[in-house]
């Protein structure tokens, strides 16, 4: 087939050169020009505005011609023995097993990845919960300390007022000032 294709290309080059020479020398003879080669026939078609057109007809190969495969017929299949068929079936079965094992490996890797992601998410969640709990405990302790300090300050001020009241009361009693005048 490769020989036919190469020969076809060469003849097409020759044909265009021959056609050009013939059209220059014999313009009226070009209309009826019909070229024949060993394995193809070329017929000119009416000239068009875009250029020339040809119809190339490939002849069927002769029985004596050295050729591989015909363009129109598929290559001949050789007879296969039982052993060849068995080998092909075994190879197909091995490919199927290999593909199935590959799919199973991919699924296992995906499952492992999902498990790792889930474990990481759970760990991050527990870390976040623990940190939030620690912050809450610290805040509650700070609030408790502030409250105790505030209560201690209030008690101290109250004790101070009580002391000043006691001092005032004792001075009033010693000097004999009436309680009425203290109010105004």
pLDDT per position in the chain (184 positions), as tens? Answer: 667 667 666 766 666 555 656 555 555 544 444 555 666 777 777 766 677 777 777 777 666 655 555 556 666 667 778 888 999 999 999 999 999 999 999 999 999 999 999 999 999 999 999 999 999 999 999 999 999 999 999 999 999 999 999 998 888 888 765 554 545 4
**Residues 91 and 144 both lie in one domain:** yes
Residue 65 in domain: no
Q: Which domain holds residue 39?
A: 8-58
Residue 163 in domain: no
Which residues, 6 or more positions from 80, have their beta carbon under 8 angstroms from its beta carbon?
A: none
Residue 55's pLDDT is 77
Residue 73's pLDDT is 63
Domain count for the chain, please give it.
Answer: 2
d(CA 56, CA 43): 7
Residue 183 in domain: no
d(CA 171, CA 165): 10
Residue 103 in domain: yes
């Amino acid at each position: 087939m490769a020989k036919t294709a190469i020969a076809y290309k060469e003849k097409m080059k020759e044909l265009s050169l021959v056609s050009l020479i013939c059209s220059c020398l014999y313009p009226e003879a070009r209309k009826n020009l019909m070229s024949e080669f060993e394995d193809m026939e070329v017929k000119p078609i009416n000239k068009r505005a875009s250029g020339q057109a040809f119809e190339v007809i490939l002849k069927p190969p002769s029985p004596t011609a050295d050729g591989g495969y015909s363009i129109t017929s598929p290559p001949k299949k050789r007879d296969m023995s039982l052993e060849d068929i068995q080998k092909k079936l075994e190879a197909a079965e091995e490919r199927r097993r290999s593909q199935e094992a590959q799919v199973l490996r991919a699924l296992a890797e995906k499952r492992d990845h999902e498990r790792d992601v889930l474990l990481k998410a759970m760990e991050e969640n527990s870390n976040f919960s623990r940190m939030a709990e620690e912050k809450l405990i610290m805040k509650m302790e700070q609030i408790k300390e502030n409250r105790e300090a505030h209560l201690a300050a209030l008690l101290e001020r109250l004790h101070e007022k009580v002391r000043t009241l006691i001092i005032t009361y004792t001075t009033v009693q010693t000097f004999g000032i009436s309680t009425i005048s203290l109010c105004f």
